[in-house]
Amino acid sequence: ELEDGLDEAFSRLAESRTNP
C-alpha cells in the first residue's frame, strides 16, 4: 500500500510540475 501511495505521489509530483 505504501509503495502504491509513493507511485501515486511521484505521478502527482510530475503532473504538478508539468501543469502547475
Partner 1 sequence: AGVGMPMGAYSPPKTVWLPAMKGKGLEISGTFARRAGVIQMEMTLTNKAMSVMTDFAIQFNRNSFGLAPAGPLQVLTPLSPNQSIEVTLPLNTVGPVMKMDPLNNLQVAVKNNIDVFYFSCQYPISMLFVEDGKMERQVFLATWKDISNDNEAQFQIKDCHLSSDAASNKLQGSNIFTIAKRTVDGQDMLYQSTKLSNGIWVLAELRVQTGNPTFTVCLKCRAPEVSQCVFQSYEAVLKN
For residues 4, 8, 13 and 16, what is the CA-based torsion angle, rounded to 10 degrees? -170
Per-residue cell: 18: 508539468
Taking the complex as a whole, the smallest distance from the CB of residue 14 to partner 1 amounts, in Å, to: 4
Q: Provide the mask over 1-20, with x wherever binding to partner 1 is found by CB under 8 A and - wherever it is not.
A: -x---x--xxx-xxx-xxx-
Residues engaged in binding partner 1 (CB under 8 A): 2, 6, 9-11, 13-15, 17-19
